[in-house]
Amino acid sequence: MNNHKEKKKIGFISAFSICFTSIVGIGIFLKNAAVGANVEGNGIAWLFSWIITGLLSILLAFHFGKISAIKSKNGITGLNLWIHETTDVKNTWFKKISSINYGLFYHPILLISLSFFTTEFFIEIFKPVINVEIHLGIYAIITICFLAFFVLNNYFSIKFSSHISFVTSILKIIPLIMVIIIGISFFNQHNSGGTNGFQITISPDKAIQGIMLSIPGVLFSFDSFIGIGSWSNNIKGGEKAVSRVIIFALVFVTVIYSLICIASIFHYNSDKTTILNVLLDSLPQNVKLGITIFITITIFISAFGTTNSICGSALHEYNNLVIRENIFFINKIKSKFNNSKSALISFVLVVSFWSLIILIPSIIINHDGLIDGFSNLVVVAIFPIYAYLIFLYWKNIYLKSNKNNKYRHWYAIAVWVALIWVLLAIGLNIYFVLEAAIKSWNASYDGWGLSVTQGIPINNLNVLILYIVFFAIFFSFPFINFKIIEKRKMRQS
């Protein structure tokens, strides 16, 4: 994001590191706990949750690999470019929703949530020494400090940011491989009360419900793979390199995630099944303290690297929004500053707004469930946009340029499978959230929340209300935004 006339470009390895680090954050370290709880420890449903989501992500990666071949124009890259190049007149509604919500909702909310998770594990490192209950307000202050570092680091040095991604990629893969080898090798060892989930049976309807409730959390673990598209101007090989990076990263991640899932199933714990619990259940109790400290530091490093990479993608996306002047307040900022500074200022304003919306209520209830929930909500909202963009690319670009391609029918099947798959998964997730709120509205919702859970918990009704309010704003604000822009243009003319 610097203003140098000749920007240094990064190679395939660095680009892969950024993409890999963006995908593999804290999700795989923690989300197995929620998935295991949702399917009541049943190994088949548990593994199925990860495999079907992994296959869906690979399918989406295949499509976005093709879409990323669209050439950058006027400095605009990534999702913003793809949306404008694939959308026709009949789908202006989609352009309005998706062209700004990626920047206004997805990136800032995800960045705030991930910065908070980074803070949680930073504090967890020192908890054995401090041994004092810390209020969420302290977490929020440290989160703001991390946010400031991520933003400034990515604004002033893309190269240094890519080095952070590379180093954290190497460091985070070590414990993941450890868990796979140890968890699977010692599948019959249960030193902390674990159970083999493959021996647990549940009814088919509970299995389906558990899988659908798990989808947002699992998608969260696979998400952010297209953020690398915003870097195409900074990568050697441009759009073609981006295509290879996305596909290779998703295949690699899916294999790793599936193996970690198997290790977790072998050591299911009804209280919580995280990577740490898998190792503690597999290994003797006398190594408990050392393993706990090592894994906690590793999760912190992983969360740090992921949040830094996503922040870089977010700043690139705001550069797109500034060039197009897609947000109603950007033109005033742009009239006083250049594009790079305007992107930074706009991004800081939006992140500050969402920080108030998310962190203040969380401080009041002293519970991180709301923060965790927002990170899931933006994933639920953004995946249908990914799916419909794939459909528009196939309909408006691929069919016109590949009339004689003998594989075009297979590609059409792949497009419809991706679209139906995403819509079905998201639709069933919303249905089960609604069902839970109707049947037991006051029951606590255990799927949201990580370590700061001593305050007021989130219940099923809270989750449903948040779904309704969030989606109402998500789909209505873009039209309000463009209405303001149109009225301003009319006054100026």
* 289-306 pLDDT per residue, tens: 888 888 888 888 888 888
Residue range 342-356: average pLDDT? 93
CA distance 180 to 41: 18
CA distance 275 to 278: 5
Give the lowest-confidence range in 23-32, 110-119, 251-260, 458-467: 23-32
Residue range 477-487: average pLDDT? 87
- Own/partner long-range contacts of 340-348 (Cβ < 8 Å, ≥24 apart): 340/1, 340/2, 340/3, 340/155, 343/1, 343/315, 343/318, 343/319, 344/1, 344/151, 344/155, 344/315, 344/318, 346/318, 346/321, 346/322, 347/108, 347/151, 347/314, 347/315, 347/318, 348/151
Domain assignment present for residue 247? The answer is yes
pLDDT at 116 over 50: yes
Question: Residue 4 is encoded by which pair of tokens?
Answer: 């140098």
Q: What is the pLDDT of residue 351?
A: 94
CA distance 31 to 50: 10
CA distance 312 to 346: 14
Residue range 363-391: average pLDDT? 88
Q: What is the pLDDT of residue 25?
A: 67
pLDDT at 156 over 50: yes
* 233-277 pLDDT per residue, tens: 667 766 667 777 878 888 888 888 899 999 999 999 876 777 888
Going by pLDDT thresholds of 50, 70 and 90, the confidence category of residue 3 is very low
Check which CATH number belongs to the domain holding 393 and give it: 1.20.1740.10
Domain assignment present for residue 65? The answer is yes
The rounded radius of gyration (Å) of the Cα atoms in the chain is 22
CA distance 68 to 71: 8
Q: What is the pLDDT of residue 217?
A: 72
Going by pLDDT thresholds of 50, 70 and 90, the confidence category of residue 314 is confident
Q: What is the pLDDT of residue 105?
A: 92
In 3D space, the residue among 147, 143, 145 whose CA is nearest the CA of residue 363 turns out to be 143
CA distance 356 to 208: 36
Q: What is the pLDDT of residue 230?
A: 60
Going by pLDDT thresholds of 50, 70 and 90, the confidence category of residue 6 is very low
pLDDT at 189 over 80: yes
Going by pLDDT thresholds of 50, 70 and 90, the confidence category of residue 196 is very high
Q: What is the pLDDT of residue 266?
A: 94
Q: Which residue has the higher pLDDT, 186 or 452?
A: 186
pLDDT at 226 over 70: no
pLDDT at 464 over 50: yes
The structural domain count of the chain equals 1
Q: Contact 354/92 with Cβ under 8 angstroms? A: no
Tally Cβ neighbours within 10 Å of residue 24. 26
Q: What is the dihedral of CA 303, 304, 306, 309, to 10 degrees?
A: 170
Domain assignment present for residue 200? The answer is yes
* 402-454 pLDDT per residue, tens: 777 777 888 888 889 888 888 888 888 888 889 889 988 888 876 677 777 78
Going by pLDDT thresholds of 50, 70 and 90, the confidence category of residue 327 is confident
CA distance 95 to 101: 10
pLDDT at 146 over 60: yes
* 383-398 pLDDT per residue, tens: 888 888 889 888 888 8
pTM beyond 0.95: the answer is: no
Cβ-Cβ contacts under 8 Å for 41 (sequence gap 6 or more):
195, 197, 200, 268, 270
Domain assignment present for residue 239? The answer is yes
Phi, psi values for residue 206, rounded to 5°: -70, -35
> Which structural domain, as residue segments, surrounds residue 25?
12-492
Q: Contact 387/86 with Cβ under 8 angstroms? A: no
Q: What is the pLDDT of residue 154?
A: 87
Domain assignment present for residue 166? The answer is yes
CA distance 115 to 206: 34
pLDDT at 4 over 50: no
Domain assignment present for residue 70? The answer is yes
Tally Cβ neighbours within 10 Å of residue 338. 10
CA distance 130 to 144: 22
Domain assignment present for residue 1? The answer is no
Average pLDDT of the chain to the nearest whole number: 83
In 3D space, the residue among 278, 298, 280 whose CA is nearest the CA of residue 289 turns out to be 280
Question: Residue 94 is encoded by which pair of tokens?
Answer: 């989609």
Q: What is the pLDDT of residue 347?
A: 92
CA distance 223 to 27: 10
